[in-house]
């Protein structure tokens, strides 16, 4: 019996902040095995066509595959773009991420399964099983008409997007739209690189830099306090998103490069921000 495809949405090339070949190991050692254990055939974009561009056949596979896994670990713009397309068509998707990955505002209410970044043997076996179970649970829920990780269902939208048959004349126009989206994603990626370069400021532990870190922590506390007040005042979601992203960005810089005490405070503040936004989203969907 031929297995149904499970499309794997994840970084393909080497990623800033990770060892060379890290995500290929995640694919081969965890995600691919989990798919097979759950009865699906794993397919990644580079296995559809050897290219770095999103072509029509990849888009078709992304949308048509009965199941998908999306790895949020690096907050990769291309990954989020592909997840957005998958969600627009309300297709079942299992979200995974490595332990410690900060939540993303727009999809924070959705379920996800974590795996360990170190890829130690016994932990890999456990993570394979957990992700396999998540795939099976998602398939069972979908078969029953209960969408797991469905933004269409979560927001009570009338219907998902549909894809008309693509003719030769439509292809060029669609590729223009896709390339425009890709240019925007590249701009976001360059901004991310600049933020990563800024984090190098924390590597120096001199007195002046420590004062700077403490000042940044105080500013983050103020931003979190304002965010807390906005949630209490039931502020519009657009304002909350802007403030949430600001708090997350500052705290992640401290979490990645500050002294132990600062990292501990930053982690608690991130958890509070996540809890606040999750509470707001639950209330909005009652």
Which stretch of DSSP H or E encloses residue 264?
Answer: helix 260-284
Other Cβ atoms closer than 10 A to 123: 15
Percentage of the chain beyond pLDDT 70 is 71
Q: Is 100 left (phi over 0), alpha (psi -120 to 50) or beta?
A: left
Domains in the chain, CATH or no CATH each: 4-170 (3.40.50.450), 190-284 (no CATH)
Predicted local distance difference test score (pLDDT) of residue 58: 78
Q: What is the pTM of this model?
A: 0.58
**Is 65 a residue whose pLDDT tops 90?**
yes
- Where does the pLDDT of residue 80 fall: very low under 50, low under 70, confident under 90, or very high at 90 and above? confident
Residues 122, 133, 282, 63, CA torsion sign = positive
- Top pLDDT among 260 and 127 is at 127
The arithmetic mean of pLDDT across residues 156-167, rounded, is 52
Residues 162-219 have pLDDT tens digits of 555 445 455 445 444 444 554 555 455 445 544 544 444 444 456 677 788 888 888 8
C-beta separation of 73 from 97 below 8 A: yes
């Amino acid at each position: 019996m031929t297995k149904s495809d499970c499309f794997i949405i994840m970084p393909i090339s080497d990623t800033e902040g990770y060892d060379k070949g890290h995500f290929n190991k995640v694919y081969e050692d965890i995600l691919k095995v989990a798919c097979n254990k759950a009865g699906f055939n794993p397919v990644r974009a580079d296995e559809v066509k050897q290219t770095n561009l999103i072509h029509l056949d990849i888009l078709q596979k992304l949308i048509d595959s009965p199941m998908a896994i999306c790895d949020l670990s690096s907050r990769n713009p291309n990954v989020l773009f592909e997840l957005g397309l998958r969600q627009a068509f309300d297709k079942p998707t299992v979200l995974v991420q490595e332990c410690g990955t900060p939540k993303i505002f727009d999809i924070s209410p959705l379920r996800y399964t974590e795996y360990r970044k170190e890829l130690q043997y016994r932990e890999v076996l456990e993570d394979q099983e957990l992700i396999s179970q998540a795939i099976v649970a998602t398939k069972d829920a979908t078969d029953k008409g209960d969408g797991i990780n469905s933004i269409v269902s979560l927001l009570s939208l009338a219907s998902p997007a549909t894809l008309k048959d693509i003719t030769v004349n439509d292809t060029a126009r669609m590729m223009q739209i896709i390339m425009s989206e890709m240019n925007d994603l590249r701009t976001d990626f360059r901004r991310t690189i600049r933020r990563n370069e800024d984090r190098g400021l924390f590597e120096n532990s001199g007195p002046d830099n420590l004062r700077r870190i403490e000042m940044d922590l105080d500013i983050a506390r103020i931003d979190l306090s304002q965010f807390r007040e906005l949630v209490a005042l039931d502020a519009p979601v657009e304002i909350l998103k802007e403030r949430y992203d600001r708090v997350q960005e500052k705290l992640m810089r401290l979490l990645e490069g500050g002294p132990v005490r600062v990292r501990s405070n930053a982690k608690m503040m991130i958890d509070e921000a996540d809890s606040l936004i999750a509470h707001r989203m639950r209330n909005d969907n009652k």
